[in-house]
Chain A
């Protein structure tokens, strides 16, 4: 890192469900925030600034909800910052919060992200109420077909990812989908949504929130001395590319490659497949797992699907991916990216509970948004020099 070391010392999330009718927007974010503060042994008084992220305001029909949420988030009298970078927003929220501390402007910052999808109609909002929308599944299906054609991957790869992530979700108390009898046969028999993506290869719509406490070196050292290991932020990057033009490759987006190069260079990672112990990748549709394994250098081009096929990315494999169950198991859209970053942090803190990857020292959290255009990633480690 070129700047002041910062670390995650608290992580919290809600129980994610289709409809959290038991809580208001304020109640939803507070559920995650208080878990994160408890985890950090802090109160709202310890927080110097709040960074809020969420996907389009049209999803819930509340414009700039950070204004209304200032009270619930304990932000009164403090800086309250709002990020929105499409589906990657949760990740970018963590990155911007980290930047607040890296710059030396603030000591301890709360990153919060949420979506309460049940309050609105995401499909309607994606089309801005102006007519039919392809939806995310429809938008990504052509990229998936292109990936399959290029790599020659067999069709069961998507089904395997879907089963793996749902099995992992059974070990995550906060996960939305708990499909006890998930199986290849069940996925294969589920309705075709957007060729080749079947219903059980798709993410759910969730209500949920996530919060992360990011602090400076002194705060992280104090947590470590108290027996609560921090997750050191070894590198962050956000990269974007324009929507569409000849020469753009949405299957292997240049912004994703650059995003990976940024964080690997900054973190001193030269062999990601060997040096990274586990990855939380943004996989809302099953085939995105092999696509991102390749874009992030965790597999050779055209070979990502083989890591799925041979069990490498399973919880017991040598590179577990989405041990938490991932976006395929919980998808409060704006929070989904922050959940990836938070789960990666918990892995290197040894705080992932039943879905802990044994001995994880280095993890990446990654989120993407729009038509494979916005990419945010961080690398976290159990120490500032995990390769030493």
Chain B
């Protein structure tokens, strides 16, 4: 029998310390994150029916980098297992689909990355169209600045409101001082851009009765969708995010209010754009965790958004939204709705 999509819940998660650089391998990071995620639930690796890992060879700097991460899963006896070359939030999506098949009850998904080992300005141009865009060598900062200009021109943000996002997310600094600083890429200043972070996260999912046996208050995934857009940013309206809008609609965001929204907005203007696209009012707490502006463990950043949103439910909240993104100027977007009731 298949399991209803809304009877699948996040029941726990954990992440490693988020640091500027660690000498520990991705496998070591995952070993810790998985142990910390399943331990408090009274589960062992033997209880895990399915695993799906999210990571990226180019971030790790090695082909087949995810293969050694099988050691962190403890895939012995052999596990039902998969890997996505995407953020762990998409690994979560695959596990959510897999659990609906109804033959298994518990899945663990992870996201992991050590961005500190490479130069983003060197690596990220390689994810662009290899014929027309990669040769330009435009780095993430450049693309983000282009989008920030569009968002400002559309009246959704200005440099001051962007600085306010930075201050609120990081819990430090004051707007007056920040807006007086020099530009990195106009209109972006240092506070508008994410830190480089090494880290990993692991999340535990369970179905139906098993979820309710393991925890008092599972965070049910009541809506889940992701969409992509045209790749070339110059062919897109950068002051909009239609893929986020479609995903949110498909995930049922509009059917009831959310109290918390965890958005994978690594640049300040992205938060202001997505607040507008998602129609989030001032009553919604956006990125209470500090978001990607505080810690940005690429390939885990999106999964961490789901984790923090789930924490809101664990703590008694009713409904929360988590968002993840990939690609230049928010090309691809994922929306996950978590609720206290299935």
Residues of A within 8 A of B (CB): 2-4, 24-25, 56-71, 75-86, 92, 96, 99-100, 102-105, 125-128, 130, 237-243, 245, 253-255, 258-259, 262, 370, 373-375
Contacts and interface: CB of A to CB of B under 8 A. Distances in A.
B70 A56 contact: no
A105 B97 contact: yes
B231 A241 contact: no
B107 to A, nearest CB: 12
Interface in B113-158: 123-124, 126-131, 133-134
Nearest to A105: B97
A28 to B, nearest CB: 12
B317 to A, nearest CB: 25
A68 B231 contact: yes
Given A63-B56, A128-B62, A259-B78, 18 more contacts: A24-B131, A64-B85, A64-B127, A67-B228, A76-B228, A80-B227, A81-B93, A84-B84, A86-B67, A102-B100, A104-B2, A104-B100, A130-B62, A238-B82, A240-B81, A242-B74, A255-B75, A262-B80
A56 B326 contact: no
Contact of A105 (B5, B123, B246, B327): B5
6 contacts: A62-B127, A62-B130, A63-B56, A63-B126, A67-B127, A84-B66
B68 interface: yes
Given A62-B127, A240-B70, A81 B84 contact: yes
Contacts of B326: 64, 67
Nearest to B125: A63
Given A70-B228, A242-B71, A57 B58 contact: yes
B6 to A, nearest CB: 12
Interface string B68-107: 1011011111111111111000100110111011110000
Contacts of B229: 70, 76-77
B2 A79 contact: no
3 nearest interchain CB pairs?
A255-B78, A56-B63, A103-B100
Contacts of B331: 67, 70
Contact of B97 (A60, A99, A242): A99
Interface of B: 1-2, 5, 56-58, 61-64, 66-68, 70-71, 73-86, 90, 93-94, 96-98, 100-103, 123-124, 126-131, 133-134, 225-232, 242-243, 246, 326-328, 331-332
Contacts of A103: 2, 5, 96-98, 100-101
A304 B2 CA distance: 37
A272 to B, nearest CB: 19
A103 B8 CA distance: 12
Contact of A68 (B63, B85, B130): B130
A75 B230 CA distance: 8
A58 B63 contact: yes
A368 to B, nearest CB: 12
A2 B64 CA distance: 32
Contacts of B86: 64, 81-82
A58 B67 contact: no
Nearest to B132: A68
Contacts of B79: 239-241
A85 B80 CA distance: 12
B81 A126 contact: no
B90 A254 contact: no
A60 B81 CA distance: 25
A59 B227 CA distance: 26
A95 B80 CA distance: 12
Nearest to B247: A79
A243 B2 contact: no
Given A57-B57, A103-B100, A242-B71, A71 B231 contact: yes
Chain A CB within 10 A, most for which of B58, B64, B94, B331: B64
A100 B332 CA distance: 18
Contacts of A375: 78
B127 A81 contact: no
A241 B70 contact: yes
A128 B67 contact: no
Given A68-B130, A80-B228, A83-B82, A240 B75 contact: yes
Contacts of B85: 57, 64, 66, 82-84
A241 B70 CA distance: 7
A356 to B, nearest CB: 31
Contact of A79 (B62, B64, B226, B242): B226
A144 B133 CA distance: 44
A240 B78 contact: yes
A243 B230 contact: no
Most buried by A among B66, B68, B101, B243: B101
Contacts of B62: 128, 130
A80 B96 CA distance: 16
A238 B80 contact: yes
A375 B81 CA distance: 9
Nearest to B226: A79
Given A77-B229, A79-B227, A370-B64, A61 B126 contact: yes
A255 B80 CA distance: 9
A78 B228 contact: yes
Nearest to A133: B63
Given A99-B97, A102-B101, A82 B84 contact: yes
Contacts of B328: 67
B232 to A, nearest CB: 8
A280 to B, nearest CB: 21
Nearest to B72: A242
Contacts of B101: 2-3, 99, 102-103
B236 to A, nearest CB: 10
